[in-house]
Structure 1
Amino acid sequence: MISQAIEQFKKQFHKEPLIVSSPGRINLIGEHTDYNEGFVLPAAIDKKIIYAIALNDTDTCNAYALFNGEKASFSLKDIKPGGGWINYLKGVVYQLQQRGLEVKGFDCVITGDIPIGAGMSSSAAVEGGLNVALNHLLDFKLGRMDMAKVGQLAEHTFPGVKCGIMDQFANLHGQKDRVMLLDCRSLEFTYFPFEFSKEYKIVLVNSMVHHSLASSEYNVRRAQCEEGVKILREFFPDISSLRNLTSAQVEQYKDKLPPKVYDRCRYVTQENERVEKACAHLQRNELKEFGELMYASHEGLSKLYEVSCPELDFLADLAKTRSEVAGARMMGGGFGGCTINLVQTERVEEFTAFMQEQFQQHFGIIPEVYVTSIQEGANVLQPTVAIA
């Protein structure tokens, strides 16, 4: 991918580029908790977006997407939402400008191997990669959490998805063979070694249902959670989000909440409790118990939060029948995308063949399967290394 990006950049723009690698992410547990100021447990992975990029001494930003062969440009003087994938670049540039930073025109080629709509947050990888590139080229001296916030706001204001901070955080803070417990309220985080990386692989099975968070009910779920907080504040005046509540407290005032709002609040509070338990199991190398929490997470996402779909439920239920799988659940915003499975290394091929065969029999399509590893976050690659 790096060689392709360099070759295409030279062909399009006739100069030497800077190379940036920007990963997708997985999330072992803690879904739809980030915008509720809760806990998440993500990691950066070896699927990535690659930027070849250089400044161009103009007021125009030019981008060429290798994944679809499209070119797009926009002026730094008048940035407005619109235009599909270029929206993510526009959003980052606009938010950098809102911070009072002087962004200059650039040329870039973008490629990558993160499957679009599979729940690995290709959007955050696009945002994070451009953040890192411009921070380096223009010496903005932004910290990684600052860049994560820029990416999050970019997604809020241009594609219009009111996402939490997890995706951008994981993209920028990833470390090899380590997962991260992020407190989405304080933004404090702790690294945990993923001790099972030799015995177990993280395998993603694609439901082949393309999801679009902006056109789904993602923003509706956020509004329902906020409605629950508003109602429950009558009984708990100091709360600012569902993070401040336990599942027992939500249960206590069940009759005060509309049924759907109750379900959403119940799921989020239970999921926060699951993440904290999951970290304790990681520290004690208790993979079986960790996996059981993953299954419980999927059940909540499907039944209480209602962001699953028949294909995801089928894959999660199927994985539960396999002795080589320690745990599985849907991952990402939902309404499509992938399940994440912890699979014994020596049986990954057997697992893959079984899942593909069963899914094809049921839905008439063979699902894509991705065996991933936990890697570093978004980084500038030295040009000499990149060219080699």
Structure 2
Amino acid sequence: MSSSLAQAIQADFQQRFGYEPLLVRAPGRVNLIGEHTDYNGGFVLPAAVDKEMTFAVGLNGTEKIRLAAHDLGEYFELANAAEISPSDTHWANYLLGVAAQFQLRGHAVPGFDCVFAGTVPMGAGMSSSAAVECGLAFALNHFLKTSLEKMELARIAQFAEHTYAGVQCGIMDQFASLFGRDGQVVRLDCRSLDYEYFPFDTQAARIVLCNSGVKHSLASSEYNTRRQECERGVSVLQQHYEGIGSLRDATMEQLEAVRSELGGTVYRRCAYVVQENARVITACNCLIAGDLAGFGKEMYGSHAGLRDDYEVSCAELDVLVEAAKAAPGVFGSRMMGGGFGGCTINLVAPDKVDDFIASVSKVYEEKFGLKLETYQTTIVDGVGVMAE
């Protein structure tokens, strides 16, 4: 058994339900580059990381669904697995939504028990919700012998979030949790769902996340506005060019040609997305060449675009990126996720990690009077059964 958390969850399960569970781990994720490209049919470059959710799951031979959130010390029970609907218990909905998706695909879900907990920091943009969904989807696929492909499990998890949690997420988070590979990042084409692995040498660079500790209230309303601005750009482009299904199909030359029609704001939003897709491609070529400095340069470019053209950064994130630039041993840094708070992701030489954390923390505290929370992560395999 790999962790004390897994042992605690196994013990909790046995104490509550009196039999041996299957143990499953589902990782959170980081996205190295490719932000706000997913809903524009573009490229993302996520990796599964060693902050993860751990599950003990078993079929209980009854009609009941019994769920326990080990961390929260909370318990949820549904009398009949055949009658699943969204509940008032927020955390339970992520799990119920997954079971409901199996039913919608014609797979009867019998009564089951689940105890779960995790080390994915909440609110840090590492997709704790996707990890929760994917872990249970994997376990049910195992028990029900449904033999569903991993991409189908990712869809189940994504639709669970849409229907039971009310979050219209793309597929990247669930994809990364399921398809992650130790020592590799995976480039997903969000249009075709084709994907390709690239080597990432965690001996040469560590992934360090700096949590701004803020979440500005703008985040969700501005996210929807950005989606609309991108759609507006696509509809203008479609009037002039054949074959534009999304911003993925657009070039900078085309944007320049219709710039006056787009207007300044929509032009900048679209330009960011077109350039960000190009940065993902360049960044992957840097990984093949073992050029971490080149990769880092694309990360800085990504942050500048998010700050100036897409306008989803904030003072806290900008200060963290500037502080990273000035710190020793840093290859690259940028904001990660939807924006207006959350984390920056930083690639740091292993022997400089402590110095990096010290110097960036000092700047952050001086500027905002806030203690900086940091997480060091390493890249791991996707969802799987935990070895005994």
Cα distance in 2, alignment partners of residues 96 and 307 from structure 1: 36
Cα distance in 2, alignment partners of residues 65 and 316 from structure 1: 35
| Alpha carbons of structure 1 residues 213 and 23: separation in structure 2 relative to 1, 3 Å | farther
Q: Indicate whether 1:98 and 2:104 are aligned.
A: yes
Equivalent position SS for 2:51: strand
Match of 1:227 in 2: 232
Read off the aligned partner of 2:325 and give its amino acid letter: K
Q: How does 1:176-325 map to 2 (within 5 A)?
A: 176-195=182-201, 197-210=202-215, 215-325=220-330
Q: How does 1:21-40 map to 2 (within 5 A)?
A: 21-40=25-44
Q: Output one character per residue of 1:190-249: Cα deviation in whole Å (capped at 9) or x when no partner.
A: 111113x21221111111124799845333322332232222211124221111112332
Equivalent position SS for 2:213: coil
Shift of 1:106: 1.3
Aligned mate of 1:173, from 173, 179, 184: 179
Match of 2:7 in 1: 3
Read off the aligned partner of 2:321 and give its amino acid letter: A
Cα distance in 2, alignment partners of residues 207 and 87 from structure 1: 28
Q: Output one character per residue of 1:326-362: Cα deviation in whole Å (capped at 9) or x when no partner.
A: 0000112222221110111111111111111221122
Match of 2:347 in 1: 342
Shift of 1:293: 0.6
Cα distance in 2, alignment partners of residues 339 and 50 from structure 1: 25
Contact 2:327 2:359 in 1 (8 A): no
Match of 2:92 in 1: 86
Cα distance in 1, alignment partners of residues 238 and 157 from structure 2: 31
Read off the aligned partner of 1:22 and give its amino acid letter: A
| Alpha carbons of structure 1 residues 73 and 380: separation in structure 2 relative to 1, 3 Å | same
Q: Which stretch shows the higher mean deviation, 213-222 or 314-323?
A: 213-222
Q: Output one character per residue of 1:25-84: Cα deviation in whole Å (capped at 9) or x when no partner.
A: 111100111121111111111110001111123333221112222222345314136531
Q: Indicate whether 1:49 and 2:53 are aligned.
A: yes
Percent of pairs identical after alignment? Answer: 51
Cα distance in 1, alignment partners of residues 23 and 216 from structure 2: 29
Match of 1:162 in 2: 168
Cα distance in 1, alignment partners of residues 100 and 347 from structure 2: 39
Contact 1:203 1:371 in 2 (8 A): yes
Cα distance in 1, alignment partners of residues 54 and 354 from structure 2: 28
| Alpha carbons of structure 1 residues 214 and 287: separation in structure 2 relative to 1, 3 Å | closer
Aligned mate of 2:22, from 18, 24, 31: 18
Q: 5+ unaligned residues in a row in structure 2: which ranges? A: none
Match of 1:109 in 2: 115
Equivalent position SS for 1:227: helix
| Alpha carbons of structure 1 residues 67 and 215: separation in structure 2 relative to 1, 3 Å | farther
Cα distance in 2, alignment partners of residues 12 and 353 from structure 1: 44
Cα distance in 2, alignment partners of residues 257 and 158 from structure 1: 36
Shift of 1:303: 2.1
Cα distance in 1, alignment partners of residues 287 and 186 from structure 2: 11
| Alpha carbons of structure 1 residues 72 and 308: separation in structure 2 relative to 1, 3 Å | farther
Equivalent position SS for 2:191: coil
Instruction: Tell me how large the CA RMSD over aligned residues is.
Output: 1.8
Q: Output one character per residue of 1:157-194: Cα deviation in whole Å (capped at 9) or x when no partner.
A: 22222221111111001110011111111111111111
Cα distance in 1, alignment partners of residues 25 and 315 from structure 2: 34
Contact 1:50 1:112 in 2 (8 A): yes
Cα distance in 1, alignment partners of residues 302 and 87 from structure 2: 35
Equivalent position SS for 2:90: coil
Q: 5+ unaligned residues in a row in structure 1: which ranges? A: none
TM-score (norm 2): 0.94
Read off the aligned partner of 1:19 and give its amino acid letter: L
Cα distance in 2, alignment partners of residues 192 and 112 from structure 1: 27
Cα distance in 1, alignment partners of residues 248 and 370 from structure 2: 40
* Number of aligned residue pairs: 382
Q: Which stretch shows the higher mean deviation, 256-265 or 107-116?
A: 256-265
Read off the aligned partner of 2:270 and give its amino acid letter: C
Read off the aligned partner of 1:49 and give its amino acid letter: M
Read off the aligned partner of 1:24 and give its amino acid letter: G
